Amino acid sequence: MMLRSFSRFFAPLLALAFLAGVLGPASPAEARERRAPPKTKKVEAVSKRVADKLNEANQLIAGEESSLPEAERYRRGLALLQQIWDMGEDKLNKHEQALVQQSFGFIYAQQEKYGKAIEAFKRTLALGALPDGTQLNLQYNLGQLYLIEGRYKEGIAALLDWFEKAENPAASAYMMMANAYAQQEKYAEALNWAEQGIAKMDEPKENWLRMTVQLRLQLKKYKDAIPGLETLLTYWPKEAYWKQLAAVYGETGRDLDSLVALEMAYRSGFFDEDREIVRLAQMYLFQEVPYKAGTLMEEHIGDGKVEKTQKNWELQGNAWMLSQELEKALGPLERAARESDEGTLYLRLGQIHIDAERWGDANKALRRASQKGGLKNPGNAHLLRGIALYNMKQYKGARGQFQLARKDPKSRKPAIQWLRVVEQEMPTQAAAAETPEAEDDEDDDKDAESGSE
């Protein structure tokens, strides 16, 4: 089982999480659960002039000037911040400088200019002039931005430092770390963080559960992946999860459960490909439910979802045979036998006809079995054909087939017994006139054909 690309599925989620809930100077950090406000250090006062311009810039960022296009709001907001910054460090205290740089960072992040946002947040944090809680939130934001930019080592370092300081981090923070390690293909570390996140999860989240399952599969922890897949199917009964669960059940030896999962996927309408239907039929046979296999193949060969190939005809025929539906088995086995390069399927057809005492049909099928060849026990085909010819009262042809069967060690004993029976049935004069050696098989064919017409 392949692990799908983490960068393809999870990196966009990081950007969405950041932009949806963390932007804005006054936003609370999503990554921490609610708790008592931390004690903060004293910060320097902000002058009215700076405060007014910051407020105006933040209103633009927040979209309160809704009549303006977004790009224009950002342009004006950046211009206002630049006006403050241009006042110079000698006129701005560190707290004011930090607020300006923080606001720069939020606007750049909104514009998806993540590199510039990172530098602005780094400058903000370096000033160390914001309240402790705000500093901590901003460090989390910085870690997010590093991950969005694909700078995983820097992102991990920033977030590890944040974890050291944060109180009671929420599940989302653990899952972000899991994603960061997974992007670096450090799957064991990623799983450790993901499992901590899942343990703190208030309610099932599909992306988190899916990520944890994929990590377990990547590490071949198949049994551990089962509960996660079962939970996913409880809330999101999707095609991929049914099929994946079936595969994992198979990997862990739970073959019957694997069949049930595949059947659920089929009944949910998730099977569109020939190979999926054929696989389900094969699993029915493996679990000794041949009637379902026969019905499945008959339906979908009929409606065109399953290709009309020799192997598929054979699978259908075998399913009906094992279900003791011998009459239903004849059609698909006949089609499969015609397309096969070997005579095995004609031999099987001959056996069915003999069981039904259709001697002429048995003779034809068994003759073709010998002609195509490739039989594991060719003497058996001659023996069965001899029995068919005997019941057709074609004694000469029957004796020839039994004599050929006698040459094969596997069928020698019953062939000798049948020869005695045939010789007793044959008229005395005809028996004396015939040569004791086996007649040529081609001549037998002619006699048999003429006798059966």
The structural domains of the chain, with segments of one domain joined by +, span 363-453
**Below-70 pLDDT ranges, the chain:** 1-41, 64-66, 427-453
**How many whole angstroms separate alpha carbon 280 and alpha carbon 255?**
12
- Identify the pLDDT of residue 40: 52
pLDDT at residue 344 in the model: 92
Joined tokens for residue 294: 């026969």
User: Letter for the amino acid at 69?
Assistant: P
DSSP state of 202: S
pLDDT attached to residue 56: 85
Which residues have CB under 8 Å from 140's CB, separation 6+? Answer: 22, 29, 31, 159, 162, 166, 173
pTM over 0.85, yes/no: no
Beta-bridge partners for 32: 169
Of residues 174, 178, 153, the one with CA closest to residue 32: 174
**pLDDT score at 109:** 93
- Tokens standing for 416? 């000798």
Using CA atoms, how far apart are residues 319 and 165, in angstroms rounded to an integer? 65
pLDDT digits 0-9 by tens, 427-450: 643 544 444 444 444 444 444 443
Cβ neighbours of 71 (radius 10 Å): 9
CB contact at 8 A, 228 and 191: no
Percentages of the chain per state (helix, strand, coil), in multiples of 5 = 70, 0, 30
| Model pLDDT, residue 36 | 40
Cα separation, 250 vs 279, in Å, equals 13
Q: Round to whole Å and give the CA distance between 282 and 280.
A: 5
Cβ 233 vs Cβ 203: under 8 Å: no
Alpha carbons 179 and 184: distance in angstroms, whole number? 9
| Axis crossing angle, helix 255-267 with helix 274-286, rounded to the nearest 10 | 140
Task: Yes or no: say if 314 and 286 are a contact pair by the CB < 8 Å rule.
Answer: no
- The pLDDT, as a whole number, for residue 190 is 97
Residues ≥6 apart with Cβ < 8 Å to 408: 377, 378, 379, 380, 382, 415
CB 361 within 8 Å of CB 353: yes
Identify the DSSP state of 305: S
User: How far apart, in Å, do the first and last CA atoms of the chain sit?
Assistant: 58
Best CA proximity match to 210, nearest among 193, 234, 239, 231: 231
